[in-house]
Structure 1
């Protein structure tokens, strides 16, 4: 039996709703969409992204400023300058921002500028980092490790919560397998299992799961249908020109079209994507 005292449900209806801003909460009746480029490249890029996404039912912006790259010679991100660009986009368009931290030293600057701190799959079991995030004071988006079991994933969340931070969102982003056709294998069964096992919100990243933009829309719709509380999807003004993960980036137009196609699916399972309907606006704390 899992020794996940804080993450597991205390009763079948135990659900937690986590606030990103006054208008945006993950885990309630709204399916939350987070969109943006893999990497913040310039102020002009993020202005274009935010201006187009803000008029669609897209609730939050993503953009990497500290990038974990396989090659040390690849672009590593803009750092604090990128954080300032994200903060400016949030100020102009009212969209909370999500960005990744890779080390304890990066926590303080990211907390100063961002609304949610993302822990990438490579750091899911970086236990000292997880402990430090327990004191971060901001919501955490925890991505499943490349080959992590559900138990290992849940216990990583337990580390953050056991050190003082109850605001954790789980993200299924695909796991490695023998098949090389897709970048990873999206485990929607894990989404259902995590929602049964834990009270935490669960979102899905179909971009990293597939690595191919033409597969993203159908898997995004399947994720909403199986109960995911949200999606995080990469998009770019000029996808093929993205400095990282170009193959999996949607155009901004394709991103807006995809999100519009999700509304009927959300309604069919009793949820919504509307920005005007932010139910359960306060975090639920249930015994």
Structure 2
């Protein structure tokens, strides 16, 4: 089901002189000179659409640098006056919203930690009522699309129509090359639920390492995300927060120059005809897949009936291990990734168990209902 959001297109509230749309600036505003100097260098690249800076920093542990505070808003005003760049800051409380708007900040965003708490989001939403300001909502720390959607809806219900989502990756216990796992499928799911909601990628927080920012940025653009938020510092080696994931303005410009921009569609009739032919082939295979899955489930139900009649347990671990090993190896031979094959098999197995469980419990459920009736 599509989300019922009242939103304006991105082009109505932010103007990109060049593609891709790029929001950039230091992770934290540290000093007035650092922020203003960085802003001038970013402006000179001719690439940056808006200047971002962390003013209030929600840190994991006390004692870490938690942002310069409200004085940083005055520095942002100066940077905006000298460069003409619109400004963007993160807000986590109603007071942040009030101070940022009073200082003339152009764009606000709700951070990942705030998105995870509906009480915090509602406080921010209440403070936004009556204001015509663009707001971007980062995904929550954990991979929970409902929390992300809920935060977006709360902000939209407050009357904010200039709205976008920010994909910054998700926490995971599994160690990988990324600071936060991209989990692109969640962002894609949001895009399918809200096709008109702009999604901007934050490669800095996904990567946690400047060497991966280019790769993540290209992936985001290939998935038709509307822009990028990349942290940039005049001298990342001395940054007070997240030094490893920030790039210099010059490096940022070079990174953007090496990205390939692709369009979601084309006016080339020959290309469109070929795509239509290939998509038609996929549609036929998808129909056949669903038909075969339905046939598989019918057999699973027959197995469930047979197990019930012969008092055999639903789950037989040895059989499942045999299926998993055999099919994963078969998938490998057919150039399918083991991870994909295993996830597909787990979905099929879960549905088979659900159906067999229903069959096992049919008589029991009817008996319980009859017993209830006799005691009425």
Q: Is TM (by shorter chain) over 0.5?
A: yes
- 3-state DSSP class of the match of 1:165? coil
> Which segments of structure 1 move beyond 3 Å, counting only runs of 4 or more?
18-21, 267-271
* Structure possessing the higher radius of gyration over alpha carbons: 2
More helix by share: 2
Alignment of 1:3-152 (within 5 A): 4-6=3-5, 16-17=9-10, 19-20=12-13, 23-24=15-16, 30-56=19-45, 57-112=47-102, 113-124=104-115, 125=118, 126-135=120-129, 136-152=131-147
Residues matched between the structures, number: 258
Choose 186-195 or 97-106, whichever is displaced more: 186-195
Taking the aligned partners of 2:237 and 2:207, their CA distance within structure 1 comes to 16
- 3-state DSSP class of the match of 2:28? coil
Matched, 1:162 2:161: no
Match of 1:179 in 2: 174
CA contact (8 A) 2:93 2:124 kept: no
* 1:251 Cα offset (Å): 2.1
CA contact (8 A) 2:221 2:262 kept: no
CA contact (8 A) 2:222 2:262 kept: no
Match of 1:238 in 2: 235
CA contact (8 A) 1:30 1:229 kept: no
Match of 1:285 in 2: none
Match of 2:214 in 1: 217
* 1:222 Cα offset (Å): 1.1
Q: What is the TM-score with the length of structure 2 in the denominator?
A: 0.64
Q: What is the TM-score with the length of structure 1 in the denominator?
A: 0.82
CA contact (8 A) 1:20 1:116 kept: no
CA contact (8 A) 2:182 2:206 kept: yes
Q: CA 1:227–1:175 in 2, change beyond 3 Å: closer, same or farther?
A: same
RMSD over aligned CA atoms reads 2.3
Matched, 1:193 2:183: no
Task: Name which of 228, 249, 253 aligns with 1:252.
Answer: 249
Higher-RCO chain (CA-CA 8 Å, sequence separation at least 6): 1
Residues 79-114 of structure 1 deviation map (CA, whole Å, 9 limit, x = unaligned): 221011111111111111110111111111111231
* 1:74 Cα offset (Å): 1.3
> What are structure 1's unaligned runs of at least 5 residues?
8-13, 272-287
* 1:270 Cα offset (Å): 6.9
More strand by share: 1
Taking the aligned partners of 2:253 and 2:19, their CA distance within structure 1 comes to 17
Taking the aligned partners of 2:23 and 2:158, their CA distance within structure 1 comes to 27
* 1:269 Cα offset (Å): 5.0
